[in-house]
Structure 1
């Protein structure tokens, strides 16, 4: 398994499954930026504030990685995210670009899973 893939999976587990922020320096490059259309993030303190607030408002939030794609300095995670067990959730694709073994850039694509769909399994 590539080192970048392991870093991306550990980062995802600690932040989006365990809601732990203690090891961000192990994962995020000093020049980290997130190009998310929801909330662009330009530094680690802002990242922490955004997600701590999000998890305080959504304590049941869960995220499960369904597949991982690695291409050079890029790692892509295809996730099933949900606000609670009663919520269908949404499909999220996180794209990470690595530099020096840490995440320097991030993009995301999010699509809500509707109550009814012609597709039986989006994963």
Structure 2
């Protein structure tokens, strides 16, 4: 299994990560919350060649589908079947097309930034900061994709709104 114990890196393009993954250590010794919508800062494990290909497919799919709301572009990453486990989304490829149409119409500014990605065989897990509008605090989301022959064929997700205050200083993203 790949994951934190196998090649996990806390290094990011800018700043140094603290032990709390959603905070960035500043040069002056302070910390700031990392709510930047910057996908160049993805923290990732290192996996097999197939796991790396599955991660690349999942990132490209996420960008095309959930950030660009472009069903036709996203379709190239989906297998011949698509099983959906989100209770609020219809099953199959047509259901996914309907979901993207809903996003384009009701939340055209929505954007998700992948903060972490792991792969274990045919499964890819994304930890995402998702916002329906740039001013939203957003949601902490975990998306799980199963791939078959390099294509996404199944999806699960869990979502938690990010509250204004937390009962701890650890953050959520």
1:30 to 69, 80, 85: 80
Q: TM-score w.r.t. structure 2 length?
A: 0.66
The aligned length equals: 122
Give the number of the structure whose residues are more often strand, by fraction. Answer: 1
Relative to structure 1, the CA distance from residue 25 to residue 82 in structure 2 (aligned partners, 3 Å threshold; closer, same or farther) is closer
Report whether the alignment pairs 1:82 with 2:131. yes
- Of 100, 105, 116, 1:67 maps to 116
5+ unaligned residues in a row in structure 2: which ranges?
1-48
Match of 1:6 in 2: 56
Give the secondary-structure state (helix, strand or coil) at the position aligned to 2:71. coil
Measure, in 2, the Cα distance between the counterparts of 1:59 and 1:104: 25
The answer for the alignment partner of 2:99 in structure 1 is 50
For 1:25 and 1:58, locate their aligned partners in 2 and report how far apart those are by CA, in whole Å: 20
Unaligned runs of 5+ in 1: none
CA distance in 1, matches of 2:69, 2:81: 22
Match for residue 20 of structure 1? 70
Range that drifts further, 93-102 or 110-119: 110-119
Displacement of 1:50: 1.7
Over aligned residue pairs, what C-alpha RMSD do you find? 1.4
Q: How high is the TM-score relative to the length of structure 1?
A: 0.91
Q: Which has the larger radius of gyration?
A: 2
User: Following TM superposition, by how much is the alpha carbon of 1:85 offset from its aligned partner in structure 2, in angstroms?
Assistant: 1.8
